[in-house]
Amino acid sequence: MAASRALGGRGGSDRARPVPEPDGADTAAPAGPASDPRRSGIVRSYGVAVAGVAFGLLLSLTLEIPPLLIPAIVVSAWYGGMGPGMLAAVLSIVGSQIVLAQPSYTLRIATLDHAAYLLVFSLTALFVAWLTATQRRTEVALRRAHGELSQRVSDLARANERLHGEMMGREQAADALREAQADLAHVTRVTMLGEITASIAHDVSQPLAAVVINGGACRRWLDADPPNLAEARAAAERIVEDANRASQVVRRVRSLMHRQVAERTSIDVGELVRDTVALMHGELARHHVAVRTELREGLPPVAGDRVGLQQVLVNLMLNGIDAMSESDDERRWMAIRTLAGEAGGVVVEVEDAGRGVRPEDRDRIFEAFFSTRPGGLGMGLAISRSIVETHGGRLRAAPNEGAGTTLRVSLPAEPGGGA
Amino acid sequence: MTPEEPVVYVVDDDASVREALSSLIRSEGLHVETFASAEGFRAHPRADAPACLVLDVQLPGSSGMDLPGELSASEAPIPIIFITGHGTIPMGVRAMKEGAVEFLTKPFGDAELIGAVRQALQRDRAARGERAELAEVRQRWERLTPRERQVLALVVAGRMNKQIASELGAAEQTIKVHRGRVMRKLEARSVPDLVRLVERIAGQPWAADAPRRAEGRSLAGPDDAGPGPSYPRGRSAGGSSD
């Protein structure tokens, strides 16, 4: 600290930041505990200058070698900075003139040679003092810069660490969010299935009833005298078909029922639509809704979570059915089409002829907990939109020219899939 | 198909169930006709044979529940066996009120259905016999002239010829002639026979006019309050004494 001020350094702002000072500062610190370490440092610096020159003069005098004054100047300037250095130089010039030059112990300059020598020596002394002090100052500044730099580097490292920690935290939060979304999607899916339980039960019990009846018929044909094997075989074949049909329904429902991690697979959207319409067949019939599917051939597959996308379609269809709950039977129809989307993507449209969405609600239907249904949870479209968006797609609603609404799901092309 | 071979009609929107029912009923040697909708069944001309209807009550479109009402209001109602995916008690009650023979909830056993079909056909056979007999009676009834119907009404009300003659302002002899013609035309051998015939006719839409127009008197006459079954016997005694 003392040295930095003594060297004409910019003390004030640096005070908080300790700069390593191998000489000066460390030795200056113990002197004058609380009084003024800075002043004692200055005094010490100048003392070193005076002592150094005196020692140099003494050595030169006894050993009769002149150049020992220059190291004294160097030491003074190095130790004390510009002020003490200059003092040492001036003392050296004066001292050498008085002590060493002939005639001794006078300031008189006897010869021209001596004058020249004195001039050169003076310039050299001053120059050496200035050079050393400057070098010293530069070095100190450099050291301080280095210190600042390493401080900054460690700050940066710390900041980096903090950022890394934050990033981890954010990743964990994102994971937790994904988990929560999956949970929510699952819950809404189960709720959704709850809404269509009656028709699912019907879809399962119809083929099962047929199995039981066919079983009885088969037995009767075999018990007949003579047994009618052709009829019995036909009945047995129908049993197999019906049992398969029932298990298909169960399979469709079970895949939606499961709480499973979203897995990305390659999905044929047309097949997904057909499967979903099959699942919804009973529900559509129960509400007397006629459904028309228009599936474009040769659409590229999309990458995604099949269960999630099926949930979206079921949800859109349920909304459509609900929108037509007050319509006359002949106004109850729904169209589901697949089209080619932008950039090799695929679009699925679910169009209904229902009551439509009020203009003021158009922006709100995708909000969570917004429902126009009295018993509606208001999660369906919000979840659907978030599912579509995790697929990198978009879900939008548009009023039809006539009655009803068209919901449009755009899904991007499968990355790497020939678009 | 001979006119007497019974027919079982099956109306169910589910093709599998329809085929299964058809096979099961055919295995009993019965003739089956299947329909996917109530409309299809309505549009189909029905055979003149004992029949019954196996009806799924959850038909889409025009509800299967409308069909029983229509059928029971028709001229030749046939017994109905209701089958349902998930029957509720009110549904069952309504079905029974509308003349269901049986209300079966899927899945049901083959014996249950066959039993119900047999019972229904039996019931329809009886109903058809009843209807045929009634048609016969109607034919006989329609042979009567208005005057003869007046006389008939008073005869079954227990009036003597003399009373009838004075009520109608005619000679007793004329009444006797009318009475003889009535007996012949209705193919009745005695007054109790006549009373039974009139009982059959009573309440039929095509016979609503005649017997009651006889001076606004009901068939039961003075004994109006008396229990039904005792009525013919009591009158027959009076009639035969004449």
pLDDT tens column, A174-192? 888 888 888 888 888 888 8
Pairing of strands B100-105, A346-352: unpaired
Question: How close does chain A come to B43, measured CA to CA in Å?
Answer: 21
CB-CB: which of B17, B23, B28 is closest to A209? Answer: B17
The pairing of strands B80-84 and B51-56 is: parallel
pLDDT for the residue A17: 44
The reply to whether A148 falls in a domain is yes
Answer yes or no: do A214 and A131 share one domain: no
Residue with tokens 């085929």: B19
Count of structural domains, chain A: 3
Average pLDDT, chain A: 82
Selection from A226, A239, A205, A247 nearest residue B24 by Cα: A239
* pLDDT at residue B188, as a whole number: 86
Q: Which residue has the higher pLDDT, A318 or B203?
A: A318
Residue A384, pLDDT above cutoff 60: yes
- Among A72-81, B61-70, B166-175, B221-230, the minimum mean pLDDT is found in B221-230
Query: Rounded mean pLDDT of A137-143?
Result: 91
A233 and A286 in one domain? Answer: no
d(CA A130, CA A76): 11
- Between A59-63, A169-173, A225-229, B210-214, the lowest mean confidence (pLDDT) is in B210-214
Are A293 and A347 within one domain? yes
A368-380 residue pLDDT tens:
777 776 666 677 8
| pLDDT at residue A85, as a whole number | 85
Written as six digits, the tokens of A309 are 């996308």
In a domain, A191, yes or no: no
- B144-241 has the same fold as B7-136: no
pTM beyond cutoff 0.90: no
- Interface contact B58, partner A, CB < 8 A: yes
Q: Is the pLDDT of residue A418 over 70?
A: no
The answer to whether B16 contacts chain A (CB < 8 Å) is yes
The CA distance from A205 to A242, in Å, is 10
CA distance A352 to A324: 8
**Domain identity same for A137 and A251:** no
A315 phi, psi to nearest 5 deg: -65, -45
How far apart (Å, rounded) are the C-alpha atoms in residues A205 and A199?
10
Q: What is the pLDDT of residue A12?
A: 41
**In chain B, what is the greatest distance between 2 CA atoms, to the nearest angstrom?**
74
Helix (H) or strand (E) holding A405: strand A405-411
Considering the domain architecture, whether residues A228 and A102 belong to the same structural domain is answered as: no
H helix runs in A33-111, sequence order:
37-63, 69-80, 82-95
**Does A268 reside within a domain?**
yes
Mean pLDDT taken over chain B: 78
Percent helix, strand, coil in chain B, to 5, is 55, 10, 35
CB contact under 8 A, A220 and B110: yes
Q: What is the pLDDT of residues A270-289, one digit of tens each?
A: 999 999 999 898 888 888 89
- Tell me: pLDDT of A235 over 80: yes
B131 has pLDDT over 70: yes
- Nearest neighbour of B23 by CB, restricted to A205, A231, A285: A231
Asked, for residue A189, whether it belongs to a domain, the answer is no
A87 and A225 together in one domain: no
Is there a contact between A323 and A406 (Cβ–Cβ < 8 Å)? no
Q: Are residues A280 and A373 in the same domain?
A: yes
Cross-sheet strand order for the sheet of A405-411: A290-295, A333-340, A346-352, A405-411, A394-399
**How far from the centroid of its chain's Cα atoms is residue A360's Cα?**
36
Top CATH class, B144-241:
mainly alpha
B16/A201 CB distance under 8 A: no
* Domain boundaries, position A222: 196-259
pLDDT tens for A13-72 read: 444 444 444 444 444 444 444 457 778 888 888 888 888 888 888 887 777 665 578 888
Number of C-beta neighbours around residue B58 at 10 A:
21
Lowest mean pLDDT among A148-152, A272-276, A329-333, B57-61: B57-61
Range of lowest pLDDT (A56-65, A398-407, B123-132, B194-203): A56-65
pLDDT tier at A103 (50, 70, 90 boundaries)?
low
CB contacts under 8 A, B 62-81 vs A, are none
Residues A408 and A386 placed together within one structural domain of the fold: yes
At A226 the pLDDT is 92
Contact B182, B194 (CB under 8 A): yes
Angle between helices A112-195 and A380-390 in degrees, nearest 10: 130
Instruction: Find chain A residues with C-beta within 8 A of B27's C-beta.
Output: 217, 220-221, 224, 228, 231
What percent of chain A has a predicted confidence (pLDDT) above 90?
A: 31
Last residue of a domain, one of A259, A280, A296: A259
pLDDT in tens, B75-101: 778 899 988 876 667 777 777 777 778
Pick the CATH number of B7-136 from 3.40.50.620, 3.40.190.10, 3.40.50.2300, 1.10.3720.10: 3.40.50.2300
Number of C-beta neighbours around residue A103 at 10 A = 7
Taking CA atoms, A284 is separated from A151, A321, B191, B206, in Å, by: 71, 7, 65, 47
A393, A275: one domain = yes
Cα separation, A293 vs A273, in Å, equals 8
- Asked whether the beta carbons of residue A209 and residue B86 sit closer than 8 angstroms, the reply is no
The full set of domain ranges for chain B reads: 7-136, 144-241
> How many residues does the structure list for chain B?
242
Is residue B226 classed as helix, strand or coil in its secondary structure?
Answer: coil
pLDDT tens per residue, range A201-220: 888 888 999 999 999 999 99
Q: Quote the CA–CA distance of B109 and A281 in Å, as a whole number.
A: 27
Closest residue by Cα to residue A82 from A142, A8, A24: A8
Of the residues A115, A137, A161, the one at which a domain ends: A161
B28 at interface of A, judged by CB pairs closer than 8 A: yes
Tell me: do A139 and A58 sit in the same domain: yes
The mean pLDDT of B38-48, rounded to a whole number, is: 87
The answer on A264 and A249 residing in a single domain is no
CATH number of residue A345's parent domain: 3.30.565.10
pLDDT, one tens digit per residue, over B186-236 is: 888 888 888 888 888 877 777 655 454 333 344 444 444 434 343 343 343
Question: Is B107–A234 a contact, with Cβ atoms under 8 angstroms apart?
Answer: no
Q: CA nearest B56: which of B91, B30, B89?
A: B91
- pLDDT confidence of A330, banded at 50, 70, 90? confident
Interface of B with A in 96-125 (CB under 8 A): 106-111, 113
A288 and A254 both lie in a single domain: no
pLDDT (mean) for B134-145: 86
DSSP secondary structure letter of residue A108: -
* Higher per-residue pLDDT: B65 or A193: A193
Produce one character per residue of A328-343: b if its CB has 16 or more CB atoms within 10 Å, e if not. Answer: eeeebbbbbbbbebee
Residues from chain B that touch A238, judged by Cβ atoms under 8 A, are 16, 19-20, 23
